[in-house]
Structure 1
Amino acid sequence: MAGLSVDAFAAATLPFANYLPLSTFAVETVPSVRLEQEHGIPPEHLMVLSSEDLAGEGPDVSALVLASLGAPPVEQPLFLVRSGPLRDSMVAALAQLVHEAGWAGEDVGVTHLEELGGTVVFDLLGWAVPQESGATVVICDEPLFADGRRDGRFAAVGLRLSRGAGPLTVAGCGEGPPGAEAPAADHRFGGRGPCDSWLALHEALAAGRIGAGERVLLHARGPLREGWLLLEAADPAALRLTGSASPAPRTTG
């Protein structure tokens, strides 16, 4: 992970759509006790993404952030990191994204990291990002289950990574609660999903609240697992920030 930096950062959100109450499904199909343990949502408030919500209208959040980042200066690999299963098992999300974007480089899919997709995945990226070209990373969170008591969104962040010094330098990451990294951070952003802390950081950067030389801790914590990522804002003014992280209202079916 040493020497990995973020040169460009995009964010996108879309509203939830066509979520159905857990009670509309057979108990043996969706075991409520296990779901409550894994997602921390009481059965009476748990919503499940309808199988009818497959295509939608317009690009999905992954396509939005990739388009917002634009084409890389050189051919480089694309990593699509998804928190959970595909919304449509008949559609290969990575292949569709590559085709629609006209991506020329290699492509790699990483899935089912759940809340760790925005933090611990940097262990993989630390050795997988090529020295000569860098890489583009799209972290996508389209939850299969949602809490009916809360507003929600599909979310994605896009990162253009390079080796060497850059606007945001990756200083460390790990699974579990942050230790000495927490008091060392000047800013701390948290959330349950893999994109939540990134969206908060995007908003803070856009508002100019992150100063040069400050350290930022991103912390994702779910019912069963948690992970962290420490960044150093070496030169936040040089970071190319695109897209909007503004939340959108949720609708349910």
Structure 2
Amino acid sequence: MAEPGSPLAPSLCVDAISAAGRWHTGYVPLSAFPPSILPAARRASAFSGIPLDHLMVTADADAADPGEAAAEDGVSALALAALGGDARDEPLFFVRSGPLRDAMVAELAGLVHRFRWKGDDMGLTHLEELGGILVLDLIGWAVPAGATVLICDEPLYADARAGGARFSAVALRLRRGSGPLQVLDCGEGAPAGAADSAGHLFTGRGPCDAWLAAHRALAAGQVTAGDTLLLHTKGPRREGWLTLRATDPARLRLPAPA
């Protein structure tokens, strides 16, 4: 994990960003579970800010509502499909913010099979809300010429008053050398001096939030060459940041969010 001011592996850049999102209602109330879940539910209530009386837990894919049937593409598949398959010989890194909704389904293996991915594949967990930030530091040594990073956020808990939660995924195409968005630095904790030098600040609570905001700004033409972007994630447990420099944003591929 990089400390503030410690550079990442040199010449890592982002060539393309795709995104997908879907409102998910396949949650069930705590009353559907045995009392043994209460200690974990109380902890979830404390860090999420959702009152225990309104806390819901995501259902297994098999138990989801018919409208959200497993036959539908998940957000990870949608984001990866939007990015395109021109780099299937390169490594694929799949980053999840939490556990699989269905422990009997190996989602990464399913994606590899569906998209006929030929490169190495690796799943990364336990980065929690910082999965979209720290992953670029974590895998920096493992990107030879290029790689694809797929970041998935499917909240385990939701507020019954909202009726569900948003599932999101962001796919990044990384390259060595110069590119549209140059990766500068990242770290855990408050961004400190990075916030003062950034021309654009994108923030959020989840691992995909800052990337989604940056995607929208880039697609709208709000970022110009030479601008510095600060992606800041401040979740219930952890805080982290990532800085990028827009060297040639016009060359960045930005498939429309699904």
State whether TM-score is above 0.5. Answer: yes
Q: CA deviation at 1:195?
A: 0.3
- Counterpart AA for 1:137: V
Residue 24 of structure 1, aligned match among 29, 32, 35: 32
Residues 74, 146 of structure 1: alpha-carbon distance in 2 compared, 3 angstrom cutoff = closer
Unaligned runs of at least 5 residues, structure 2: 1-7
Instruction: Count matched residues.
Output: 243
Please, which runs of 5 or more residues in structure 1 have no aligned partner? 246-253
Identify which range, 186-195 or 140-149, moves more after superposition. 140-149
Hey, what does 1:36 align to over in structure 2?
45
Provide the residue aligned with 2:55 in structure 1: 46
In the other structure, the counterpart of 2:123 is: 109
Q: Distance in 1 between matches of 2:237 and 2:224?
A: 33
The SS at the match of 1:161 is strand
1:149, distance to aligned residue in structure 2 (A) = 4.2
AA aligned to 2:25 is: A
Tell me the TM-score normalised to structure 2 length: 0.89
Structure 2 match to 1:128: 142
Q: Say whether the 8 Å CA contact 1:12–1:156 is kept in structure 2.
A: yes
The partner residue of 1:159 within 172, 177, 191 is 172
Aligned-residue CA RMSD (Å) = 1.7
The answer as to whether partners of 2:88 and 2:116 remain within 8 angstroms in 1 is no
For the residues of structure 2 that align with 1:138 and 1:185, how far apart are their CA atoms? 25
Equivalent position to 1:65, from 54, 58, 79: 79
* Distance change >3 Å, CA 106–CA 214, structure 1 → 2: same
**Residue identity in the other structure for 1:39:** S
Partner of 1:248: none
Q: Report percent identity of matched pairs.
A: 57
Q: Supply the AA of the counterpart residue of 2:46.
A: Q
Q: Compared with structure 1, are the counterparts of its residues 74 and 142 closer, same or farther at alpha carbon in structure 2 (3 Å cutoff)?
A: closer
Amino acid at match of 1:134: G
TM-score (norm 1): 0.90
Question: 1:194 & 1:27 partners in 2: Cα distance?
Answer: 30
Displacement of 1:227 in angstroms is 1.0
Q: Does 1:139 align with 2:151?
A: yes
Displacement after TM superposition at 1:61 (Å): 0.9
* 2:108–2:123 CA contact under 8 A, matched in 1: yes
* Larger fraction in helix: 2
In structure 2, the residue matched to 1:243 is 256
DSSP 3-state at the match of 2:37: coil
1:55 deviates by: 5.2
